[in-house]
Amino acid sequence: MAETGPEAEREWADLATALGEMALDLLAQDSVQATLDCIVAHSVNLVGGCDFAGIMVVRGDDIQTVAVNDDLVGELDRLQAELQEGPCFDASRDKERVYRITDLTATSAHWPRFAPRAHDLGVGSMMGFLLYTRGDRDLGALDMYSSRPGAFTSRSEQVGLLLASHAAVALSSARHDANLDIALATRQAIGQATGIVMERGKLSERDAFAKIVELSQARNIKVRDLADSINRTGEFPGRRPR
């Protein structure tokens, strides 16, 4: 992209339109996984130089790959987990918001084991962004790869940061909606089970729910799991003798 002038203005206007359309597309997805996959697809389409992309989550020393557009990305994540080193691993673990490695062949001093093996797999440059919002600070890292050294420019980084900001908001929203769906389903299941216990034991709603809670504690199982069992069988199981 040109830095100044009418051409640059047109290109930024086109980018703003594309990001707006991406934001609507992300919010239209019907699950967390669909949102993750959509983020990866848009990364390849919108960020200059990006051949491959993926989203990973680091928990301690463990890396979980949650979305990729190519098997190579999962292989790179597994390599970092095996070696316990690498730029994506470091960025996610150390909460570095943005990183850009122009030429992977020149970074072996930082990752003496990972860099040469990643280059052997066909990676020339890498870039990544943490995904977070003010209310949800650990959504993972969005990582981008190119087969060519020098593929990612400062403009690529600017576009990637804008994309990651939109993506984090959409992903946080998708997770919030998923949690609400789980909470509603749990409430409905417990309500249905309470109704069954009320009818079987001729109890008030309050007493029936108390019976469910008491049995869940006695058997050391979750109230939701006990409710599912009651709803499935239509019966309130007897309490185990002590």
User: How confident is the model over 201-223, as pLDDT tens digits?
Assistant: 888 888 888 888 888 888 888 87
pLDDT digits (tens, 9 = 90+) for 132-189: 766 556 678 899 999 999 999 988 999 999 898 888 888 877 777 556 556 667 777 7
Instruction: Specify whether 140 is located in the same domain as 216.
Output: no
Residues of the chain with pLDDT > 90, as a percent, come to: 19
| pLDDT confidence of residue 178 | 59
Please state, rounded to an integer, the average pLDDT across all residues of the chain: 82
Lowest mean pLDDT of 45-59, 105-119, 128-142, name the range. Answer: 128-142
Terminal C-alpha separation, the chain: 75
238 domain-assigned: no
Is there a domain that residue 2 lies in?
Answer: no
Within-domain flag for 242: no
Among residues 126, 142, 174, which one ends one of the domains?
174
CA-wise closest residue to 105 among 83, 120, 85, 91: 120
Q: Is there a single domain that holds both residue 132 and residue 63?
A: yes
Q: Do 201 and 101 lie in a common domain?
A: no
The domain total for the chain is 2
Task: Categorize the per-residue pLDDT at 51 as very low, low, confident or very high, splitting at 50, 70 and 90.
Answer: very high
User: pLDDT band at residue 241, thresholds of 50, 70 and 90?
Assistant: very low
pLDDT at 71 over 50: yes
pLDDT of residue 238: 62
C-alpha–C-alpha distance, residues 205 and 195, integer Å: 7
216: domain CATH number?
Answer: 1.10.10.10
Is 150 found in the same domain as 165?
yes
Boundaries of domain holding 195: 180-233
**Greater pLDDT, 7 or 127:** 127
Q: What are the pLDDT digits (tens) for 94-114?
A: 777 888 888 887 766 678 888
Residues 114 and 167 in one domain: yes
Q: How confident is the model at residue 2 (pLDDT cuts 50, 70, 90)?
A: very low
Q: How confident is the model at residue 44 (pLDDT cuts 50, 70, 90)?
A: very high
Distance of alpha carbon 83 from alpha carbon 81, whole angstroms: 6
Question: For residues 150-185, b (16+ Cβ closer than 10 Å) or e, as one string?
Answer: ebbeebbbebbebbbbbbbbbbbbbeebeeeeeeee
pLDDT score of 4: 62
Tell whether the model's pLDDT for residue 39 goes beyond 60.
Answer: yes
